[in-house]
Every structure is written in C-alpha cells, then in structure tokens.
Amino acid sequence: MDLETPQHGDVARNAEPPNSSAPTPHASRTPRAREESTQVAIEAVAEGGPLVSVLEFLCRTMEEMSTDRVIACIHPLSEDETMFRDTAAPSLDKSYAEATDGTLVSSLKGPCCYAVATRQTVVVPDLAADPKWARFREIAEPRRIRSCWSTPIFSIDGRVLGTFAHFYLEVRDPSPNDERMVELMTRAAAVAIERSRAEAALRELNETLELRVREETRERLQIWNVSQDLLVIANLDAICLNINPAWTDTLGWTEPELIGTSFKRLLHLDDRERTDAELDRLASGSSTLRFENRLRAKDGSYHWISWTAAPDGERVYAMGRDITESKRVQEALGKAGTELARVARITSISALTASIAHEVQQPLSGIIINASTCLRLQDRRPPNIEGARQTAQRMIRDGNRASDVITRLRAMFSNREFTLETLDLNAVIGEVVALSASELQRNRVVIRSELANLPMVTGDRVQLQQVVLNLLRNAADAMVDVHDRPRELLIRTECESDDRVRLIVRDTGPGLSPSNLDSLFDAFYSTKSGGMGIGLFVSRSIIERHHGQLWAELNEGVPGATFVFSIPCVGKDLQPVASAPDAS
C-alpha cells in the first residue's frame, strides 16, 4: 500500500467559485493583530470548556488569521488511534462531520488518514490530479475543495491525537504564514484534546469511585442489618454509638435503649473486672481476637458472648457472637465425659474382681486364724500373754492390708472432681502395680520395673492411676496369646526434659499395625474382641487434661508395642482443660 506523501504540484490561482462558503481572507492583518488573536486562542484553550467549542474556536482563529482563503478543520482520533471522531469544522456544513466521523485510519480514505499513518504532514495541492484521492473527492467536490493540507497533532509523549486539516478552494500550496499559524494552532489543539481526555478520564474515575462507594456502602449496610452477630461501634468508655438489629433479636434491647448508654450495665457482675481490663488493652491500641463475657438480656437471662474487637482512634469496632448454646453443649459434654471416665474405671476394675477378692481374702483369712490362735493362747493356764500379743499384732497388720485394698478400690470407683496435688509418679505406679500384681502373675506376665529418680509432678492421683492401670491391662491382654517367648512387661520412668517426665509401658505381644496408630485413641475403637474402645480414649483425655501427651509406638526389632505418656513437673501451671473428661 502506497503511504508516500503526495508531492507538491503547480499552484493554480483560480478565482473564488460562485456561492463559496469559504471565510474571507484578511491580508491586511498586521503582525500585532495576529499576535493578539493568537493570544486569545491560547487563553481560550487555557480556560477550557467543551472540546468541540474549543476546537471550533481554534479553527475560526486560524481562518481569520490566514492571509489566504483557508477552511480549517480539526479531526480528533479515538484514544486507540484507529478512528476519527468529534470533527470540528465550523465553516463546513454538518454533513461533513457526519461523513468523516467514524472513518478508520486504516481505510486511507483521505489525506488525514495518510497523515496519521505516516505521522507526517501531507500536502495535496490538487486533489483532482492524483487518483489516490478518488474516494476523498466524493466528500471534497460537493464542497468545492480543490487542495488539502493535513498536519498530525501530537501529544507530549508522541502519540497522534488527530489532524489539523486546511482546505483551499483553489489549487495551491500553503503559504508560509499559514504554516507558522498551523504550527501554533496544532500545539494549542494538542493541549485541548489532552486536557479533554484527562477530564473525561477523571470524570469516569470519579463516577466509578462514587458507584463503588455506593455499592460498598449498600453492601455493608446490608451486612450490618442481616448479620446475626452483635455489631457495635463504641467509644473507649464503652458508650454505644451504633448497634445493629441483632442486639434486639438476641438480647431484646432496642436501638434507642442502648445508643448513648454504656453496655457495662449489661455485664454479669463476675465479668466486669475482666471486661474493664480488656477495654484498657483496646485503649492502648491492642486488638481483641477472642474475649468472652456475659450480657444481660431484657428478660433478665444472661447470654455468653464471644467478642472480636479492634480500636480505631477514639472508637472501638466490635463483633460479638452468642455462644450460650455452645457453652451448654460443652457443659453437657463435660458431664458426659465425667460419666464415661467413671464407667471406664468401673470397666477396668471389674476385670480385676478375682484378683481383688484374692487380695482381700488373704488378710481376712490371716485375721481369722490369728484370732483363733489368740483365743487359744489366752485359754492356757497360765495364759501365754506374749504369744497372744504377737498374734494380735499380726491381726492388726492383716487388717491394715485389707483396709488399703478397700481404700484403693473406693478411690478408683468414686465419682469425684478433678483434684490437683503434688505427686510422686513412681509411687502412683507402685500402687497400681500392687493392685494388679495377682492378675498379672496369674497370666504369667513378668514385670520388669526401671523407675528413675523423678522430680515431683502435679496431677490427680486417682486419674493418673486409672491411666497406668489401663496401660498395664492392655499390655497384659496383648500378650495373652503369646506362647513362644516370655510375656515381659517393661515399666520405665525417665526425665524427658527439665520440666517433663514420662512413663513407658512396653509389652512383647503381637504389636500394632502402623495404619492403626492414629485410630487407637478414637472413642469406641478397639483391637480386642469384646472391647468397648473407651479405655485409651479416656486415658488420652486425662493426660491431655494434665497438659501432657499420650501416644503409641512400634517396638524396634522386637515384637510388641510401646505406650508412652509425658506430663509436666511441679511448677508448671496446670489449670485443668475444661473439655476433657471429668470437666466440671
């Protein structure tokens, strides 16, 4: 496609055609007059206004300042530089703008298309002399246009903004005076077009921002109104500045009843000191991730609320969720866990009935025999006082043995609260071993104890005994079918670190499947036929309540399994975990 600039031809000096609408030339204009008109044009651009009006003013100024008969037109481009739009041609009829607006640059229909495509000034002294302009002559000839001069309008960064076109009603080249004027007016047109685009972009941005603000405001208001959580804006003195409808739905208080008042009046008496401390934290700039207190509803009941809050200057933005029902469920689960733990203890002890009966029967038989001996020694003549005294001492010893057994049983069967005390873990283990010794011996289990010198621990004696008893029973049950090797049960204690101790129970049974290690501690999961599957579940809950851990391991290189628990020593804060079994 030929994009070369047409060459200048001979200038024909024809007379003005009849009925021409071309502006009258002002050859008598002085340089000062031209300077004044130029200054007026520049001021008009600086003052701004609608783009079409500014561009038409520049066209008229050019026509008035020209010493020749010139028709000035400005053809702005679309921002993608592909199409002409918003033509300013004040000396031509409206049909010209309608014919040129929408013309694609790529069509190369006329000199203006070529000026944009080549980024150069295109001068056509005689439109009729070159067939290249045949399509443009369809627009030019009805308007008696004979020659054309089109100059690209450039932005500061070099983009083409449009063209400044000058038409003559005669065949000719542009005059030097017109060339100087075009250079000035082209710059003014560039300023006007760029400013118009910037203003349009700014208006569009403002409209977009306004629309976005309205949408976000509407969305936030909708969230505020439909949220089931309590939303409140308050100052640092706890005065409610705004609340959402959830306050009425949850607590019964209406907006007029709360706004302007302090929500502290709704606090439960036991929560006021903690809430004041949390408000002080917010005042210092800290955020609240989770804080729970109780608020009084209009009907007098109290609701547990879990708060999240953040300060912003003198205000606090907070969201509260009603967790009253969740608290009730937790309490019910705690009671159920307590009962489950008691059932687990009873289940564990029931398996030791025969052993316990044997333990109690021995001292009772001794008491009976010694009592009969004592009577015989007293009936002798003379009475054997020394022998009777020794026999009575043996009766006391056997009575104490029976009493100790009964005491341990009552403790393990009791439905009691979680009680923390300072304990010797080795002593706790020894008590359980003594209670289980007969059953273990009957099952031909060999106990090997390796008890280290341990620091004291803090815990509940009965619950720790329950865990140890469950681990020993599980180990013994795991070895009941072992006949090709000793049924050895290792009980070892050791210091894990400066502030923790651990108990290790290792058997020589068939061992565990690696895939079952994570499931062993699930409720109602059991590897034993007829097992309830609550022993290890309750045991882990007890150890976690002591801020410890209970886990299972595979024995390395030998058959069997190992169960280990680790708990803190004395000195670590051991507030019981409320969600564990036995939680009150």
pLDDT of residue 406: 65
Query: Tokens 């001069």 map to which residue?
Result: 149
Distance of CA 363 to the CA centre of its chain: 67
Question: What gap in Å lies between CA 68 and CA 28, rounded to an integer?
Answer: 11
Sheet holding 446-451, edge to edge: 446-451, 488-497, 500-506, 561-568, 549-554
Q: What is the three-class DSSP state of 526?
A: coil
Inter-residue contact 570 to 458 (CB < 8 Å): yes
Distances (CA, A) of 7 to 4, 11, 91, 124, 367: 9, 12, 27, 7, 139
Query: Which residue, among 102, 73, 90, has the nearest Cα to 164 in the 3D structure?
Result: 73
Query: What's the first-to-final CA gap in the chain, in angstroms?
Result: 92
Least confident span in 316-320, 407-411, 503-507: 407-411
Cβ-based burial of 334 (10 A; exposed 0-12, middle 13-18, buried ≥19): middle
CATH code assigned to 31-200: 3.30.450.40
Q: 408 versus 202: which is more confidently predicted?
A: 202
Q: How many CB atoms lie within 10 A of CB 357?
A: 12
Taking the C-alpha atoms of residue 303 and residue 360, their distance in angstroms, rounded to an integer, is 53
Q: Give pLDDT, residue 387.
A: 74
Spatial distance between the Cα atoms of 561 and 572, rounded to a whole number of angstroms: 30
Lowest mean pLDDT among 393-402, 460-469, 554-563: 393-402
Say how many residues make up the chain.
584
Determine which of 109-118, 219-228, 314-323, 560-569 has the lowest per-residue pLDDT on average: 219-228
Q: Is the pLDDT of residue 12 over 70?
A: no
Is this prediction's pTM over 0.85?
no
Q: Hey, where are the domains in the chain?
A: 31-200, 227-322, 350-568
Residue 342 scores a pLDDT above 70: no
Which position has the higher pLDDT, 440 or 408? Answer: 440
Residue 278, pLDDT score: 92
pLDDT digits (tens, 9 = 90+) for 241-287: 999 999 999 999 999 999 999 989 999 999 999 999 999 999 999 99
- Ranges 126-140, 206-220, 505-519, most confident: 126-140
For residue 84, what is the DSSP state?
B
pLDDT score recorded for residue 252: 93
| Separation CA 267–CA 254 (nearest Å) | 17
User: Residue 347 to residues 159, 208, 340, 342, 564: CA-CA distances in angstroms?
Assistant: 89, 72, 10, 9, 22
Rg, Å, the chain Cα set: 51
User: What's the sign of the alpha-carbon dihedral 380, 386, 390, 395?
Assistant: positive
CA angle 321, 327, 333 (to 5 degrees): 145
pLDDT value at residue 272: 92
> What CATH number should be reported for the domain whose range is 227-322?
3.30.450.20
| CA distances for 381 relative to 378, 386, 390, angstroms | 8, 13, 18
Sign of the C-alpha dihedral computed for residues 256, 262, 265 and 267 taken in this order: positive
The CATH code belonging to domain 350-568 is 3.30.565.10
Which stretch of DSSP H or E encloses residue 344? helix 324-350
How many C-beta neighbours within 10 Å does residue 313 have? 7
pLDDT value, residue 498: 75
- Residue 33, phi-psi category: left (phi > 0), alpha (psi -120 to 50), beta (remainder): alpha
pLDDT at 221 over 50: yes
pLDDT at residue 482 in the model? 87
CA distances in angstroms from 313 to 144, 279, 283, 286, 419, listed in the order given = 73, 13, 9, 12, 46
Hey, how many other C-beta atoms are within 10 angstroms of the C-beta on 129?
15
**pLDDT the model gives residue 31:** 55
The pLDDT value recorded for residue 336 is: 66
Give yes or no for a contact between 234 and 309, defined as CB atoms under 8 angstroms apart: no
Q: How many CB atoms lie within 10 A of CB 518?
A: 11
For residues 102 and 538, which has the higher predicted lDDT (pLDDT)? 102
Q: State mean pLDDT over 114-118.
A: 92
Q: What is the pLDDT of residues 502-561, one digit of tens each?
A: 999 999 988 887 877 777 777 666 666 545 556 787 788 888 888 999 998 888 888 899
d(CA 510, CA 559): 6
153 forms beta bridges with 162
250's tokens: 């949850």
> What integer pLDDT is reported at residue 562 of this predicted model?
92
Structure confidence at residue 39 as a pLDDT band (50, 70, 90): low
Give the other-Cβ count within 10 Å of 274's Cβ: 13
Banded pLDDT at 196 (limits 50, 70, 90): confident
Report pLDDT for 254: 92
Q: What backbone torsions phi and psi does residue 302 show, to the nearest 5 degrees?
A: -110, 140
323-336 confidence digits (pLDDT tens): 999 888 878 776 76
Given this model, what pLDDT does residue 401 score?
67
412 has pLDDT over 80: no
User: What average pLDDT does the structure give for the chain?
Assistant: 80
CA distance 75 to 161: 9
Question: Does the pLDDT at position 434 exceed 70?
Answer: yes
Backbone φ/ψ region at 279: left (φ over 0), alpha (ψ -120 to 50), beta = alpha
Whether the predicted pLDDT of 13 surpasses 60: no
Cα gap 329→36, rounded to integer Å: 90
Helices 461-478/324-350 angle, 10° precision: 50
Residue 156: pLDDT over 80: yes
Q: How far does CA 140 lie from the centroid of its chain?
A: 67
Task: Assign 27 a pLDDT band (cuts: 50, 70, 90).
Answer: very low
pLDDT (tens digit per residue) in 285-307 = 999 989 999 999 999 999 999 99
- For 125, the enclosing helix (H) or strand (E) is none
Q: In Å, what is the CA distance from 117 to each residue of 87, 108, 479?
A: 18, 8, 95
> Looking at residue 318, what is its pLDDT?
93
Contact in structure between 512 and 505 (CB atoms under 8 Å): no
Q: What is the pLDDT of residue 21?
A: 46
Average the pLDDT over each of 139-143, 309-313, 346-350 and give the range with the smallest value. Answer: 346-350
Structure-token match 């082209």, residue found: 186
Which of the residue ranges 60-74, 394-408, 457-471 would you say has the lowest mean pLDDT? 394-408
User: What does the pLDDT read at residue 257?
Assistant: 93
% residues pLDDT > 70 (the chain): 78
Q: What is the DSSP letter of 459?
A: E
Closest CA to 458 of 425, 493, 413: 425
Rounded to the nearest 5°, which phi and psi values hold at 193?
A: -65, -45
Residue 572 has pLDDT above 70, yes or no: no
pLDDT at 416: 54
Domains 227-322 and 350-568 agree in fold:
no
Mean pLDDT is highest, among 249-263, 384-398, 466-480, for 249-263
**What pLDDT does 47 receive?**
61
Check whether 24 has a pLDDT greater than 60. Answer: no
More confident residue, 364 or 145: 145
